[in-house]
Structure 1
Amino acid sequence: MSVEITLVEMLGSVPHWLAVLIMGAIPVSELRGAIPVAMGIYGMGPFDAFFFSVIGNLLPVIPLLLFLEPVSNYLRRYSIFDTFFTWLFSKTRRKNAESFEKYGLLALTIFVAIPLPVTGAWSGCAAAFVFGVKFRHALPAIAAGVMIAGIIVTGVTVTGISLFDMFL
């Protein structure tokens, strides 16, 4: 939670609703950090915490889905980035292709919905790009995953159950 505390300190002069929206939008915390901060530090109710965190988490999705490919193509002009992207994409496809082929967009939704580190909207956008999911299919799948994750994190925060205990 130290990252979230640092964010709270950095956003100290910003209205609480905007701070939660920003925390929900950045890849370090996403809504998994924004909802507990909204409720625990800012004293927001569950609905407001959910709403501002989910909206914040969805803000970067459209630009990410639209610009990951052009940015990747531009960076591939340089051999170090080309080597990195080739390695990353082949490793990701090798480890996850079977699940994605079997479950399709449901796999993407579930991946985004599971509130654990390295899952979420940002990673979901990267996965959609790597697996060549079209924008019109990726956006609703990722949005559904974000909303499910928001419900889970809000519920866990309200009840005080640790996410670690919930999944292990």
Structure 2
Amino acid sequence: MIPELIVFFTAMTPFLELKLAIPVGMGLGLSTTTIFLFAIPGAILPGAIMLALIGPISKFLRKRSKFMDNFFEKLFSKTRKEHTKRFNKYETVLIIILIATPLPGSGTSVAALISFVFGVDYWKSITLMLTGTIIGAMLVTAGFGSIFKILDLLA
């Protein structure tokens, strides 16, 4: 398979995203620019698709199932009641930091769920995802670049 596509599809891996795709790209000998050009869209795509589909799917489920209607009602009312004030205050920074933090489970899919629960506008969410993903890509690249340099020195 083409190395660039390996990076793109690896970045789509849930919960690992850039944290896996960037070191894979480095291991394949790709340039940082090439890795960014394929890893960033790969990391954003699942979150963007999830964000676009989760609203219509939840509406469909709520209409068809009393259980799902109760589930979503409790989820929205409890979460929004307890966290809306703080979320609205830090919304932009929170989503960017959540995505940029290079820890498993801190990517665009989780940000899409949070954006959905709190009713963040789709395009605003996509912009925040892009910003967080770019920052995260820089952090992961710096971290793994340093590790690979140290390993080269030791070898």
TM-score tier by shorter-chain length is 0.7 to 0.9
Structure 2 length normalisation: TM-score? Answer: 0.80
Are 1:159 and 2:137 matched, yes or no? no
Measured against aligned partners, the alpha-carbon deviations of 1:88-131 in whole angstroms (never above 9, x if no partner) come to: 54565467545412212222111111111221111111111011
Moved more, 22-31 or 72-81: 72-81
Per-residue deviation, residues 106-163 of structure 1 (Å, max 9, x unmatched): 22111111111221111111111011001121111111011111111111110119xx
- SS of equivalent to 2:102: coil
TM-score (norm 1): 0.75
CA 1:107–1:35 in structure 2 vs 1: closer, same or farther (change >3 Å)? same
Alpha-carbon separation, structure 2, partners of 1:160 and 1:87: 45
User: Which residue does 2:124 correspond to in 1?
Assistant: 137
| Gaps in structure 2 of 5+ consecutive residues | 149-155
2:57 to 36, 59, 71: 71
Aligned length: 147
Structure 1: state its 5+ residue gaps. 1-13, 162-168
- Change in Cα spacing, 1:158 to 1:134, as seen in structure 2 (3 Å) is same
Q: 1:110 aligns with which of 81, 97, 118?
A: 97
CA distance in 2, matches of 1:110, 1:64: 19
Higher helix share: 2
Question: After the TM superposition, which of the residue ranges 131-140 and 89-98 deviates more from structure 2?
Answer: 89-98
Q: Aligned to 1:60, what secondary structure does the other structure show? A: helix
How many angstroms apart in 1 are the aligned matches of 2:21 and 2:78?
Answer: 31
**Where does residue 6 of structure 1 map in the other structure?**
none
The answer for the alignment partner of 2:152 in structure 1 is: none
Q: Which one scores higher on RCO, CA 8 angstroms, separation ≥ 6?
A: 2
Tell which deviates more after alignment, 42-51 or 121-130: 42-51
Partner residue of 2:151? none
Task: Output one character per residue of 1:40-81: Cα deviation in whole Å (capped at 9) or x when no partner.
Answer: 2x2222222222111211223332222110011222333454
Per the alignment, residue 10 of structure 1 pairs with: none
The aligned counterpart of 2:48 is: 62
